[in-house]
Structures are given as structure tokens and as C-alpha cells.
Amino acid sequence: MQEIWIDYINALDTRALELTNDEILDAVSEALAAQGRGETVIEPRVHLVPESSDKGHFNVLRGYVKPLDCAGVKVVGDFVDNYKVGLPSEMAVLNLFNPRTGMPQAIIDATAITDMRTGAVTALGAKHLARKDSKILGHVGARGTSYWNVRLLDHLFDFDEIRVHSRRPESRAAFAARLERDLGKKIVVTDNWEDCLKGADILVEASRLPEPTPLFKTSWVKKGAFVVPYGTMSALEFDLTDIMDKVVVDDWGQCQPGRPFGALRRHVDEGKVTLETLHSELGQIVAGLKPGRTDDNETNLLWHRGLSSSDIALGHAMLEKARALKIGQRLRFA
């Protein structure tokens, strides 16, 4: 058998690659457009909950992106108490494969990929569904994905005001300090959900609730706003979708009835949000097959669960850049 070598890109390498905002957005946009054109295979994620843990679980995401000629599997742990032992709540590994032979191509630290691609989908959703003149961002949550939500949204909108909130004071203070350093603008830290979200142009909910709790009030959402809720446990009031002109998801296969978790889980399971009432998947909008926002008065919502295709696209972009810059290691596989 011929020699087989695979690329290994660890967390130090992913930082050294220094992907730019536009590199991240371009990679994820390409994957979304491919999905919209039917050029991807996205298997609904599966969950592994260890018997010994009631504080977290593993997500396993699997997919294929035809334009990239690449398949992949990502395993990401999501453990809410990791901060107590100095670890991020989400840590991940992405494996990339040749889709024609099954040959392994790369092992990539996907912790940063998970954060970046989530922020990219939030930002690209806003690009197509939020008002172009959106100037106030309200963001609840300070987990790893939150940083890239705010950074990439601000890259596209250059907000006049960014408000953040998180349950733990030390968490929201550190989050705001990091954003102020990297974005070069003042961040407003709030100690409650209402002051953070009410009246904002773009409202993002990335909370970490132990069980569904309606902390996000429908009355706080002004006409023409754009809402992105993606907490594992819903923080929404049940009537939130009643005020929406367009409800968009990243992948209906992962949102449809019978799947666990998610911000609109009850809305789907009880028939308030269905395939018939859904406006579209985000990829259809990015591919130009369905309209995004068509009126400044529209109030729109994007619910995203996380796409294996965006993990693969961002991992592929990292792999290409790493090879060009000779970053990372080559491991003998066979």
C-alpha cells in the first residue's frame, strides 16, 4: 500500500493562521451557497450524553461539500462547567476526508472553527435579513461563539452601540474588555436581559440555560429588528414567532420535529413553525434562490443549529492556508 500522510493542525496553528474576517465570511458563505444549490450533504447532528455527566454532551456533525471535494466529521464537547477548571466550554476536533476514496486528509483543532463559523452564520444571516442601517447590537451570552458573533457583525455593520450581558459578572466584564481591545470601541455591559436587548436593531441570544426559560421577552423586539436565538435551551417566549415576517433556519433537517434541543424546539414540536410557514433556509438566500429582507419594516428571525458544511468549509480554508504558509505538521497514517 502506498504511504498515506495527513495534515495535523493544532490550536497553536489555528491561531498562527490568523484568518481574517473576510476569509472566514467568504468560506462560510461559499458553503451556504453550495447548500442552497443542493451541493452538500448535511446529516443531522447526533448527541452523546455521557452517563457520568449531567453538565454537558458531545455533538457529532457529519457532512460533504461538493465544490470543495471534501467530506468531514466534527466531534465537539459542550460542557457548561468547564470554566471552573480553566477550560473552554466547547472543544472540538474536525477530521477531513477525500469523499471519493475515504482517505483521511486532515485532523484539525476545531474549537476555533466552531466559534468562527457560528459567528459567520450569525453575521451572514444579518447581512441578508437585517436592516442595512442597523446601528445597535444587543448580545446575551459570552461563550466562545459570542466573540465571533460580535466581531463579524461589527465588521459588516460598524455599530454605534454594542450591548452585552452574561449571567456571571466576571464573564461579561472579560468579554467586554476583549471586544473593546479588538474592536476599538466602547462596549456597554448590562446586568440584565432587558437593558441589553430592548430596542436593539440586531438581537442575539447565545445563553447557556439549564432548562427552557422565557427570559427573552417578545415586547422588547421593535418593528424592523433582526433576531438570532441559538441557545441549546430556549430562552424565548412562545409568541415571539408571531411578530416575525420571515423565519429562516440554517438547515430544516436539524430543526424539524423530533430533534432535541434548540431555541425554537417547542415552536417546531407544537406546530407553530413548520416547513410550510418557514420562509427558507439561509443557504437558499445566500445562493440567490430566495429573497432576504425586502422591506425595512420586516421583523426577521434566524435560528441556526450549526452546520457540518460550514465546519468543513472553514477547516478546508485553514488547511489550504496552512499548506501555503507551511504551518502545521504532517503525520504518517499508513
Domain match, 164 and 238 both: yes
Tens digits of residue pLDDT in 196-213? 999 999 999 999 888 899
Of the candidate ranges 38-42, 48-52, 62-66, 262-266, the one whose mean pLDDT is the lowest: 48-52
Higher-pLDDT residue of 218 and 44 is 218
Work out the end-to-end distance of the chain between its first and last CA atoms, rounded to an integer number of angstroms. 8
CATH number at residue 291: 3.40.50.720
What's the confidence (pLDDT) of residue 38? 97
Domain match, 270 and 146 both: yes
Domain match, 154 and 52 both: no
Domain match, 9 and 101 both: yes
Q: Which segments of the chain are extended strands (E)? A: 5-9, 40-48, 56-65, 70-79, 90-97, 104-109, 136-140, 161-165, 187-189, 202-205, 226-229, 246-249, 280-281, 300-303, 329-332
Return the C-alpha torsion angle 293, 126, 157, 289, nearest 10: -50
Q: Which domain holds residue 70?
A: 5-113+309-332
Domain match, 42 and 156 both: no
What's the confidence (pLDDT) of residue 45? 86
Domain match, 210 and 261 both: yes
Domain match, 194 and 265 both: yes
d(CA 300, CA 131): 10
CATH number at residue 58: 3.30.1780.10
Tens digits of residue pLDDT in 125-169? 999 999 999 999 999 999 889 999 999 999 999 999 999 999 999
Domain match, 101 and 133 both: no
pLDDT band, very low/low/confident/very high, at 215 (cuts 50, 70, 90): very high
Domain match, 103 and 125 both: no
What's the confidence (pLDDT) of residue 261? 81
CA-to-CA separations, 105 to 30, 255, 310, in angstroms, rounded: 20, 30, 17
Domain match, 296 and 322 both: no
Domain match, 139 and 224 both: yes
What's the confidence (pLDDT) of residue 258? 79
Is pTM, for the whole model, over 0.85? yes
Domain match, 242 and 314 both: no
pLDDT band, very low/low/confident/very high, at 299 (cuts 50, 70, 90): very high
Q: Tell me how many domains the chain contains.
A: 2
